[in-house]
Amino acid sequence: MTKRTHPERVFPALAWPRQWANGGLRGDLLAGLTVALVLIPQALAYAKLAGLPPQVGLYAALLPAVVAALFGSCGQLSTGPVALTSLLVGASILPLAGGSPEQLIPLALLLALMSGLIQLALGVLRLGWLLNLLSMPVLMGFVNAAALIICLTQIPSLFGITLAQGEHLVLGVARMLTDNRSLHAASMAFGLGALGALLLLKRLAPRLPGVPIVVAASIALSALVGFEAGGGGVVGQIPPSLPALSLPPLRPDLAMTLLPAAFVVAMVSFMEAASSAKLISGRTRQAWNQDQELIGQGLSKVAAAFTSGMPVSASFSRSALNYASEARTGLSSLVAAAVVLVALLYLTPLLWHLPKPVLAAVILQAVGGLIDLKVLRRAWRAHRDDGLGAIVTFLATLAFAPNIQNGIFTGLFLTLALMVYRSMRPRVALLGLHPDGTYRDLHRFGLSHPHPQLVIVRFDSPLTFVTAAPFEDGLLRAARAQQDVRVVLVSAAGINEMDATGLYTLAGLIERFHAQGQSIAFCGLKKQVVDAMERDGLWPRIADVAAYRTEQQALDALLPGLPAATLA
């Protein structure tokens, strides 16, 4: 793999010409056209999911997609409106709009700007690792709940019903389903028919572009039977024009109100982009840069904020389609954006008769694949804390709906609390000689202490202010593990860090053991721990009994001195 030069790291698009060798250009052109056919109906549907006019979705598929492709590190990512981010946008701005549709677009622009600036700052400062604080079980719990909520929000549209905005989305949908007096038969026919057609095409003819086929057929049938005249909801007029330059409302009070939502949008949307990038880069064996992708995704949101768009992200399904269509660089996204532009300028009259229930079916078909409750069970089997985080996030997201960002905050705080709790309970094990020649957990394998006056204890954690107390308790228990213990040997291979509290605690233990006629020795100390001891001045006091590399080397040196003498 050719090493990227500095200009290519800043502007990855400079590397595209090299990747077009051996026919890559043709793949980008065909992939861009293929993705655009799916992107146009999805952009309309996801704008509707966010509570915004349909043209906003098309606007967000233009310049934001181009910017993400030019500055991102993974050429196969397809950036634009996506279901999960759109749901987060709607959940964040609808309560603040106060029922006024005119307020929704300014709020969406401000949310796009803020979430984009957060991602941009993380990328420029090389702080992408902060997003790793969101564990995979929490993310999957949130994604499953959000996907379920998205499906619930589309059921009214699928049946031609308007669901009143309320505090509890799940209860509102449940009440709606028990009252069938307001169902619209034609809407149900279009919605369920489109959903069934999408599922059949995906199962029987997965290579065909099911979404554009079903959408085109629905438009033709809707115009033919007079669906709108019969009371059915259609997309209606979409302004055939370029997106106007926009300025988000730069109000401090609104910014503070939207800040938590902006953080969640930035975090969740990038996790979706990162998942796609990791999967694709694993198959293409092309490296992707997390911080550079943050810059690309952040700039794309900022571009959306100033071109009448909405917060965008990399779509998992469209990125997978882009890769399957043999795209190699971000040129495919530029081609897709060009096709969307042509459709926006010249083909919008054809979208007038597109039934809204069909858009709901497009969303349901796309989002249904995100629901995978088995992942919650796998998280529980792997570790109870992970399972608890996933389940609590799932339930909290459902309970807080439509304010679903509170669900992911609940899971985030819970996992951080559990992580701190686990770190305060490190594993401390007494060791004995195993038949395989290694020193292993004495109680687990039924082993014996190596000598009546010597005990080996292993500490599997950094020695810091969080773990200093358990370390002290473990050594004191080890000193009492046999009747006449003279030496406690610490197997320190698991100690990869030591802070001031750890050094202070260790120095106190050495003095205490010395006063009791006992000693502490070490084996397997790592360089960074020895360096900390040297800076503190502790190392010269213990160097004679702390430089052993293995347990056996320590025993060979220490046992001859027992029981006649103790260590100095």
Give the C-alpha distances (Å, rounded to integers) separating 491 from 441, 517, 523, 524, 550. 12, 21, 5, 6, 8
Peptide bond into 563 cis (omega under 30): yes
Backbone φ and ψ of 511, nearest 5°: -65, -40
Locate the domains of the chain by residue range. 28-127+150-155+185-380, 427-561
CATH class of 427-561: alpha beta
pTM for the whole thing?
Answer: 0.80
- The distance in angstroms from the start CA to the end CA of the chain is 57
422 close to 458: Cβ distance less than 8 angstroms: no
Give the span between the Cα atoms of 409 and 497, in whole angstroms: 30
pLDDT tens, N- to C-terminus, the chain (568 residues): 344 556 777 778 787 887 777 666 888 999 999 999 999 999 999 999 899 999 999 999 999 999 999 999 888 999 999 988 998 999 899 888 877 888 999 999 999 999 999 999 999 999 888 777 778 888 889 888 888 888 888 888 888 776 655 545 566 666 666 665 567 889 999 999 999 999 999 888 888 888 899 999 999 999 999 998 888 889 988 988 899 999 999 999 999 999 999 999 999 899 888 888 888 887 777 778 899 999 999 999 999 999 999 999 999 889 988 888 888 899 999 999 999 999 999 999 999 999 999 999 998 988 887 788 888 889 888 888 888 989 999 999 888 877 788 888 898 898 888 888 888 889 999 999 999 989 999 999 999 999 999 999 999 999 999 999 999 999 999 999 998 899 999 999 999 999 999 999 999 999 999 999 999 999 999 999 999 999 999 999 999 999 999 999 999 999 887 764 444 3
Helix crossing, 24-49 with 356-368: angle to 10°?
120
Closest CA to 82 of 105, 64, 107: 64
